[in-house]
Amino acid sequence: MSVTTIDCDYLGEGFAAAYLMREGDRAAFVETNTTHAVPKLLAALEAEGLQPEAVDWVIITHVHLDHAGGASALMEACPNATLLAHPRAARHAIDPSKLVASAQQVYGEETFASLYGEIRPIDEARVRTLDDGETLRWGARTLTFLHTRGHANHHFCVLDSKTNAIFTGDAFGLVYPRLQHHGLFAIPSTSPTDFDAPAAKASLDRIVATGADRAYLTHFGGHEQLEGIAGQLHRQLDVYGGIVAQALADEIDEDALDTFCEARVRALFDQLLETHGLADDGGAREILKTDMELNAQGVAFAVKKARHKLAQKEGTR
């Protein structure tokens, strides 16, 4: 099989995937999830009859830890692999100390270890950065790297010529399998600290414009309804952008900002659950709980960032 979906069992089944691409007797991984997921990735490789020495590329769409936390462990297991990363992401793979310290401050060291495991530096000589639009020839296929802001400024997507599929990280939203009972249900990820609604919408359009037949989402799986997903995400991003604009226009006090954003994001999630026939589904609400909280934080952070930029602009006059 040219592309294998690997459920990393992060926070449960169907939340986070990594992908194994096979090209002849060579292999590449897209996403690594956490250090705890690396045995699952290596087991998928073994199931293809390949050894770790056959891995040429370990690709991370961005350095958020549910995408790249296992990169150092996977690179150690695959001695011939090169890590491919966005130019802004590479430095954090080479020296993850700031990333780790920040996450440990949020979660505490014990919870951090249980979620992500140990994250070690990756030798700079084994890391390659890809510019926007850059291509990489690998066997009979060409991989094209597209920088896609909106969720994170250090994010790229990867278009695979052999399957005409695109690996989208978090730039094409979240489509959890357990929420698809009543038709397509997609949500964007607006988590801090780089959320930018216009940039996110431009990235959606760029992904659809590739003409890819399938999108492989990290959260979760392969989907062929690219226009349907993009349409849902566009409409929700308009709402998120509107929350940011309203908070700025109404000059919401800093102390009240989090509550303001949480209430409006919660209302959006309630509306989505109602629309998709899941309003009374406690399991659906539990699945979305963390994303709702993160999305509210991302919107509040976007307001603070916009205010900071405005203050800087005013200060230069």
Single-letter residue type at 313: K
- The verdict on pTM exceeding 0.85 is yes
pLDDT at residue 308, rounded to an integer:
85
Average confidence score pLDDT of the chain:
96
The stretch 191-200 carries a mean pLDDT of 95
Residue 108 has pLDDT above 60, yes or no: yes
Indicate the range of 17-26, 40-49, 102-111, 165-174 predicted with least confidence: 102-111
Could you please report the per-residue DSSP string of 187-234? B----SS---HHHHHHHHHHHHHTT-SEEEETTTEEES-HHHHHHHHH
Tell me the pLDDT band of 1, cut-offs 50, 70 and 90.
low
The stretch 139-157 carries a mean pLDDT of 97
Cβ density class 279-315: b for 16+ within 10 Å, e for less: eebeebeebbeebbebbbbbbbbbbebebeeeeeeee
pLDDT at residue 104, rounded to an integer:
93
Position with higher pLDDT, 313 vs 228: 228
pLDDT at residue 316, rounded to an integer:
61
